[in-house]
């Protein structure tokens, strides 16, 4: 290990400030690379390892191809979803080969027994394929991808093993997540007679070979990595627009002894998948400010399903009483100060999120301000002020060290909602608020005076031009918008999907369903329901980048314009966060189309922020109305009247504990 570290040390300075990503969740690979001193983020690949083994002439080709697909999937997804391009992505795949068979992780105990029995008393090979993707951003929004592939082979001999010994080992549970069904670094080491080659390669990563490749890349300054006698070779630079449509294939040096897979997988590694959220996703919104929505927490009570006309309750009025000396009470003064400082707290959250502070402290907790500043490329003074502000907001915590600088780490709140890959991540919506909502509210005075949105002042576009020219022609802004909608749908989807018993419906159509996040929550909550997501062609085309591979084929996507095109047939139509954006004329056109598509007994599930009947709350709905969109915020009763004019009877209304409420309506 000492010699390996010496190989890596000269490379460390070259990697300073670079975003290095490990496309693997393997704790063994993480430990090996961390021990070597490499700093990196972990972004597990969504590539489904279903390549046909029969298409490969040699076992190592399968391992290399799988590693390549893992690395390429993460490199592409980070540009699309994370909105940042990594400098280096590392993919790896370890397999065991014996008697011409490729052994991966066992599916169950019987599979583990079959694997270990086949290894008993024999010598076998452990192959680890490694792919290094170098990403180079260009000024024209393109990204160059350079691919370096190699593999390492280690020979391992098992002792003759009795059935009792095999089953004792299998019942320990250790074989189940390891290639070949054993872990040589733990109990599995007792099964091994000898190892010939790189021991760490058997554990899961050929560190020595990897370090040599890094040395070749950065210290020999080769723009195109030269072929290696031991199986390493590079691909020509793959130039793709950002976000790229990257081919699964790559060209290889003909002089390399490593053989390329003759038939590359045609399956796109990015697919829709059900995202498992938490029932407590709403906590963040209630926690960002200690006064936000406290009224509703007290008024909703434990019973969520209410009669149609029931309001959440009366508005809580602030009774500012004066003390004897004429000074206002401290609590009353603090409420006003909190309102005055609210925009500062929002901007601190937006800035920390945009600079990836929370992601950084998740991958490397316990950094001081200077270390964070170096990683996010900001001043030490500014970074320290931002981190301390986030501590005051409950988003970070600091740990003091005697006579040393404080160290910072995420709070549970930040880990649950502010990390890019958190199940209930709101990072996409936070970025949308920063990039789109914040500029609009900077012109609120003009919006109030004119009674119109201020997109022209904020973005140089009128409302119509902004929607068409930017959201549906600019790929970057469209992606940000879809990220925002995806964030909200993930957080609210479960509450909306479980608001009612939908067992009477077999097919549903989510109109304007964007990435399908809400649709997947519906199929998860209702096993007998299939959902079609209907949205604009450009949205459907991009939606695949928001979900990993998913085996549930009950969610499908259809491209179209719900104002112009025929709606897909369904028993239940879902309108989530749609009607409030559109003027009354457009709302009536859409509801008429839905009504025409419905036969008696069909349903319409409406999900919006329902205002109180006295329009005294909830706060988030009334503040949203200040954006002065062409649409309107309505109460549940107002929506009921609107829907009744199109033949729908509102049967139930549920005020959820999430960002959206829900109403179930039936066609008469």
Long-range contact pairs involving 167-170 (C-beta distance under 8 Å, separation at least 24): 167/113, 169/116, 170/109, 170/112, 170/113, 170/116
- The rounded distance, in Å, linking the Cα atoms of 567 and 328 is 59
Characterize 287-302 residue by residue with b for buried, 16 or more Cβ atoms within 10 angstroms of its Cβ, and e for exposed: bbbeebbebbeebbee
Quickly list DSSP for 229-265.
Answer: TTS-EEBPPEEEESS----S---B-TT-SSPPPSS--
Residue 525 CB-density burial (10 A; 0-12 exposed, 13-18 middle, 19+ buried): middle
Residue 606 and residue 613 in contact, taking contact as beta carbons nearer than 8 Å: no
Give me 331's structure tokens: 């609590």
Q: What backbone torsions phi and psi does residue 323 show, to the nearest 5 degrees? A: -80, 175
Reply yes or no: is the peptide bond before residue 127 cis, omega within 30 of 0.
no
Tell me the CA distances in angstroms from 625 to 458, 459, 615, 655, one per residue in order.
17, 19, 12, 19
- The rounded distance, in Å, linking the Cα atoms of 336 and 340 is 6
111 is catalytic: no
- The rounded distance, in Å, linking the Cα atoms of 211 and 205 is 11
Q: What backbone torsions phi and psi does residue 10 show, to the nearest 5 degrees? A: -60, -20
- The rounded distance, in Å, linking the Cα atoms of 599 and 385 is 60
Catalytic residue among 52, 87, 93, 661: 93
- Kindly state the helix (H) or strand (E) to which residue 543 belongs, with its residue range: helix 537-543
CB count in 10 Å sphere of residue 244: 20
Helix 109-119 × helix 163-171 angle, to 10°: 140
Residue 179 CB-density burial (10 A; 0-12 exposed, 13-18 middle, 19+ buried): buried
Q: Is 1 helix (H, G, I), strand (E, B) or coil?
A: coil
Residue 94 and residue 185 in contact, taking contact as beta carbons nearer than 8 Å: no
Query: CA-based diameter of the chain, in Å?
Result: 92
Q: What backbone torsions phi and psi does residue 173 show, to the nearest 5 degrees? A: 90, -10
Region of 414 (left: φ > 0; alpha: ψ -120 to 50; beta: rest) is alpha
233 pairs with which residues across the strands? Answer: 149
Residues whose CB falls within 8 Å of the CB of residue 14, separated by 6 or more in sequence, listed in order: 218, 219
- The rounded distance, in Å, linking the Cα atoms of 340 and 34 is 45
- The rounded distance, in Å, linking the Cα atoms of 109 and 161 is 16
- Return the active site residues: 93
């Amino acid at each position: 290990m000492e010699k390996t570290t010496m190989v890596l040390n000269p490379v460390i300075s070259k990697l300073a400030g670079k975003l290095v990503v490990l496309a693997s969740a393997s704790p063994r690979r993480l430990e090996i690379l961390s021990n070597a001193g490499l700093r990196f983020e972990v972004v597990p690949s969504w590539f489904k390892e279903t390549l046909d083994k029969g298409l490969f002439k040699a076992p190592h080709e399968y391992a290399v191809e799988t590693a390549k697909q893992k690395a390429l999937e993460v490199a592409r997804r980070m540009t699309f979803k994370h909105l940042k391009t990594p400098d280096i992505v590392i993919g790896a795949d370890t397999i065991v080969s014996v008697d011409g068979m490729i052994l991966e992780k066992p599916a169950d105990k019987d599979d583990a027994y079959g694997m270990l029995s086949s290894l008993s008393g024999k010598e076998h090979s452990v192959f680890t394929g490694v792919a290094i993707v170098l990403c180079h951003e260009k000024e024209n929004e393109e990204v160059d991808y350079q691919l370096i592939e190699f593999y390492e082979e280690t020979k391992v001999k098992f002792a003759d093993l009795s059935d009792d010994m095999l089953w004792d080992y299998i019942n320990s549970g250790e074989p189940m997540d390891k290639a070949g069904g054993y872990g040589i670094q733990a109990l599995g080491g007792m099964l091994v007679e000898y190892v010939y080659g790189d021991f760490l390669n058997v554990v899961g990563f050929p560190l020595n070979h990897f370090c040599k490749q890094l040395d070749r890349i950065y210290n020999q300054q080769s723009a195109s990595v030269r072929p290696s006698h031991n199986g390493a070779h590079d691909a020509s630079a793959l130039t793709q627009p950002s976000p790229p449509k990257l081919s699964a294939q790559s060209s290889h040096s003909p002089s390399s002894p490593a053989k390329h897979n003759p038939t590359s997988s045609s399956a796109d590694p990015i697919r829709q998948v059900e995202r498992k959220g938490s029932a407590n996703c709403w906590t963040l919104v209630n926690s960002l400010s200690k006064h936000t929505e406290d009224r509703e927490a007290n008024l909703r009570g434990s019973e969520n399903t209410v009669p149609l006309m029931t309001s959440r309750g009366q508005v809580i009025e602030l009774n500012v009483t004066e003390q004897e000396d004429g000074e206002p009470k401290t609590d009353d003064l603090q409420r006003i100060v909190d309102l005055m400082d609210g925009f500062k707290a929002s901007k601190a959250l937006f800035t920390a999120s945009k600079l990836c502070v929370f992601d950084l402290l998740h991958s490397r907790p316990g950094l001081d301000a200077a270390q964070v500043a170096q990683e996010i490329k900001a001043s030490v003074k500014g970074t320290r002020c931002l981190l301390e502000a986030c501590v005051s907001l409950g988003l970070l915590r600091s740990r003091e060290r005697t006579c040393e600088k404080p160290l910072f780490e995420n709070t549970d709140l930040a880990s649950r909602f502010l990390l890019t890959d958190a199940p209930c991540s709101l990072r996409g919506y936070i970025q949308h608020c920063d990039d789109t909502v914040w500029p609009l509210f900077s012109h609120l005075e003009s919006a109030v005076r004119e009674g119109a949105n201020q997109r022209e002042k904020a973005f140089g576009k009128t409302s119509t031009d902004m929607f068409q020219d930017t959201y549906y022609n600019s790929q970057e802004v469209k992606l940000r918008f879809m990220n925002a909608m995806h964030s909200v749908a993930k957080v609210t989807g479960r509450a909306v999907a479980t608001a009612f018993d939908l067992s009477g419906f077999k097919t549903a159509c989510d109109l304007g369903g964007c990435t399908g996040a809400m649709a997947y929550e519906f199929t998860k909550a209702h096993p007998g329901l299939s959902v079609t997501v209907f949205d604009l062609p450009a949205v459907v085309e991009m939606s695949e980048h928001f979900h990993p591979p998913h085996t549930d084929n009950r969610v499908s996507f259809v491209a179209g314009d719900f104002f112009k095109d025929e709606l897909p047939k369904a028993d239940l139509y879902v309108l989530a966060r749609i009607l409030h954006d559109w003027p009354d004329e457009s709302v009536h056109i859409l509801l008429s189309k839905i009504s025409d598509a419905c036969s008696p007994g069909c349903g319409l599930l409406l999900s919006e922020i329902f205002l109180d009947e006295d329009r005294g709350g909830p706060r988030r709905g009334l503040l949203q109305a200040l954006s002065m969109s062409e649409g309107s915020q309505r109460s549940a009763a107002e929506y009921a009247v609107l829907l009744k004019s199109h033949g729908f009877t509102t049967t139930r209304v549920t005020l959820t504990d999430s960002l959206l409420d829900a109403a179930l309506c039936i066609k008469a």
